[in-house]
Amino acid sequence: MAKIDMDVILDDPGSGKSYDLVNTVSKMEEEKKSIYVFTPTGTARA
């Protein structure tokens, strides 16, 4: 069975979730890792 490493970002509005997400994605891109972003409302944009 494959191991899945997953992070979930939840917090109040204005707490820096988007900032954390951008930084995490940037680091993962530099490391050539796969990235999947899901939103419960389906409003995320590329």
Report the chain's mean pLDDT, rounded to a whole number.
84
| Torsional class of 31: left (φ above 0), alpha (ψ -120 to 50), beta (otherwise) | alpha
pLDDT band at 43 (very low <50, low <70, confident <90, very high): low
Sign of CA dihedral 23, 24, 27, 33: negative
1-35 pLDDT tens trace:
888 888 888 888 899 998 999 999 999 999 998 88
- Looking at residue 44, its pLDDT comes to 59
pLDDT band at 36 (very low <50, low <70, confident <90, very high): confident
How far, in Å, CA of 18 to CA of 6, rounded? 17
- Looking at residue 39, its pLDDT comes to 76
